[in-house]
Amino acid sequence: MKYINTLIYIALVVLVNWAFTVVPLVKLPGGTMWPPVALLVGFVFVARDFAQREVGHYVLLAMAIGVAITYVMVDRNLAIASAAAFLVSEIADWAVYSFTRRPLSQRILYSSIVGTPIDSVVFLGMVGFLSLAGAAAMTLSKLLGAFIVWWLIRRREVAQPA
């Protein structure tokens, strides 16, 4: 299928946003609320990178499609918070990925390191749960997915140098 990575990216945007509405928050020590779905968001950032390899800068249109579908499917406030968080963080992720002329694994890692904290702060702030501990927990959760993919791709790059 020609645009499989782009379709996966759009589907993940919608899936993650829907999951935020059905998976309950977990209370961390100190009272911070943490969304376990944040573990999946790191994969969305990586999926965006693969979609960009496939469709170039049209990946921003793919993001808009995912956000529009989300808006129709879930709570409007969540959709707006998600749209704002994705818009700001995905543009930062896109810029780092686009303008960093490094191997794929490094671009995935760097763009995720920049994009995930922005996403966490904007999203948590807009849904009314912003705290330093919450933003840190959510960012680290998202980075876990990115680190897993980075490690797998890095291993492939080392095994098969360009």
pTM of the model: 0.82
Query: Angle of helix 38-55 relative to helix 4-22, nearest 10 degrees?
Result: 160
pLDDT band at 7 (very low <50, low <70, confident <90, very high): very high
User: Which architecture characterizes domain 4-159 according to CATH?
Assistant: Orthogonal Bundle (1.10)
Residues 48-69: tens digit of each pLDDT: 889 988 998 898 899 889 988 9
Residue 123 near residue 81, CB atoms below 8 Å = yes
Most confident of the ranges 11-15, 40-44, 76-80, 85-89:
11-15
- 130 by Cβ neighbours in 10 Å (0-12 / 13-18 / 19+) ranks as middle
Mean pLDDT of 74-78: 82
Domain ranges of the chain: 4-159
